[in-house]
Amino acid sequence: MTAQETIQKTVSDNDVVLFMKGTSQMPQCGFSSKVAGILNFMGVDYTDVNVLADQDIRQGIKDFSDWPTIPQLYVKGEFVGGCDIVIEMTLSGELDQMFADKGINFDTEKAEQIRAANS
């Protein structure tokens, strides 16, 4: 399978996917850590893909999304964005709405705590 096929299969087969540097439990960059931290705190069940483990995936995900940076979040096959976008969507409540609309389980109280801590 090519990197593009692997990425497509991963995005198609999992409801929430985070392409990141490191893993959900051991991020290896600050931006990846922020997004994983949001998802972990909100109790979202997601698949993490460590782009540092495979150079073809690391470059391939940038080509796949036409987005130059990592991390990259996908929800139900849809590219959501990188760190700044995920943070903005979390603080505005848009991420909650997207999860709710797409049937993704998350802890609404934890999402509110993030917003309260950042207001």
Residue 29 marked ligand-binding: yes
Contact 106, 114 (CB under 8 A): no
Binding residues for [2Fe-2S] cluster, as ranges, are 29
As annotated, the binding site includes: 29
